[in-house]
Amino acid sequence: MFKLSKKLKSLPPYLFLEIDKAKRKARLEGRDIIDLGVGDPDQPTPKYIIDALCLAVQDPANHHYALDQGMPALRRAIVGWYKHRFNINLNPDSEILPLIGSKEGIAHFPLGFINQGDYVLVPEPGYPPYKGGTILAGGKPFPLPLLEKNAFLPDLKRIPLNVCKKAKLIFVNYPNNPTSATAEKPFYKELIDFAHKHRIIIISDLAYSEICYDGYKPSSILEVDGAQDVVIEFHSLSKTYNMTGWRVGFACGNEKLISALAKIKSNVDSGIFSAVQLAGIAALDGPEGHIKNMRSLYQERRDILMRGLNSLGWQANNPKATFYVWIRIPKGNDSIKFAGAILERANIVVTPGVGFGKYGEGYIRIALTVPEERIREAIERLKKISSW
């Protein structure tokens, strides 16, 4: 009776919904599941942020529609955070846009620049909304393979010229989900030159910039000369401040790109709940102790996991950033079946690499979002099942 649109039918199943179904089924069977799948921090939101929300939510002035462009105070806090973290000067009135989580901004942005049939250069493996937002905007995702031999960076020289001529956007995400790879300024400079040459907009997803280890500090592409002409960068408070459920993020960069996204949002939402915006200000202006503690916590978990994987003979690079470990599985294995076997035989949830695109096949992703003792237990369970 009802026919789905061609766009909706062309969307692949959302990976984490499928994983959640498998988890629920296993738990209904009474099994003790260790969830190393979805990257949702297990630690609570810092108390000073919660206190700011509790105070703000009691003020009736915050119970009305919020401004689409966000509170001026929140935009100023974002400007201050970017200046402190990256030494970048941004205009709070024209180069900043708060978002209901960076995911919605990333998914909506192609609507502002894509016409039917335009290409969007999408990294694979990559965060699913890059492809989903492209399809919903009527564009054609063109996959950019992120290969281990290239340090999981896209090879811009291998993009066909006819594709470059029809491409309007390119997504990049470093530190990278799912591979945990990082990018440095020479790559960003090459990318900016590529974008200028082909008149392509760069969409930089910087959600994991603050989860980093061993003294490493990721860069923003906006630190590189020429970026302001072609870049919109997305950030989120979700991972940095353990605020995944709060839904607050922001975009910054070129004012024309920000203006286009603001126009889209004015037609599809009414802004972030004002009390949450005030909590976001508290997060951005708050003490840095939380971030240092978070890094230390994830680094210890990373080290425990890596020692365990090494003892199993599994192949994985030691990540400098993100709370993910990208693991090569034995040759000849299908990542979905491999992940399914781990769930069935060890009661552990991992994410199959192919869920991030076909170039993710041959890998699984593990998230460091469970306590140390559960990571140790996961390793022990893996040791007990037969070798692969």
Q: What is the CATH number of domain 6-44+289-383?
A: 3.90.1150.10
Q: Output the pLDDT for position 39.
A: 86
Q: Output the pLDDT for position 280.
A: 97
Task: Decide which of 383 and 234 is more confident.
Answer: 234
Q: How far apart are CA 164 and CA 202, in angstroms?
A: 13
Q: Output the pLDDT for position 55.
A: 97
* Alpha helices per DSSP H over the chain: 6-10, 15-28, 47-57, 72-86, 102-108, 128-136, 161-166, 185-198, 227-230, 255-268, 274-285, 289-312, 335-346, 372-384
Q: How far apart are CA 300 and CA 306, in angstroms?
A: 10
Question: Among 15-19, 116-120, 192-196, which stretch is predicted with the lowest mean pLDDT?
Answer: 15-19
Read off the pLDDT band of 386 (50, 70, 90).
low
Amino acid in position 112:
G
Q: Where are the domains of the chain?
A: 6-44+289-383, 47-285
3-state secondary structure of 305: helix
Structure confidence by residue, pLDDT tens digits, 281-296? 999 999 989 999 999 9
Is 3.40.640.10 the CATH classification of the domain at 47-285?
yes
Query: How much is the mean pLDDT over the chain?
Result: 93
Residues of the chain above pLDDT 70, percent: 98
Positive or negative torsion for Cα 367, 370, 371, 374: negative
Q: Which residues does 213 contact at the CB level (< 8 Å), separation at least 6?
A: 295, 298, 299, 302, 319, 320, 321
Residue of 59, 90, 50 lying closest to 74 (CA atoms): 90
pLDDT over 90 at 275, yes or no: yes
Read off the pLDDT band of 21 (50, 70, 90).
confident
Burial class (CB in 10 A: 0-12, 13-18, 19+), 210: buried
Q: Output the pLDDT for position 67.
A: 80
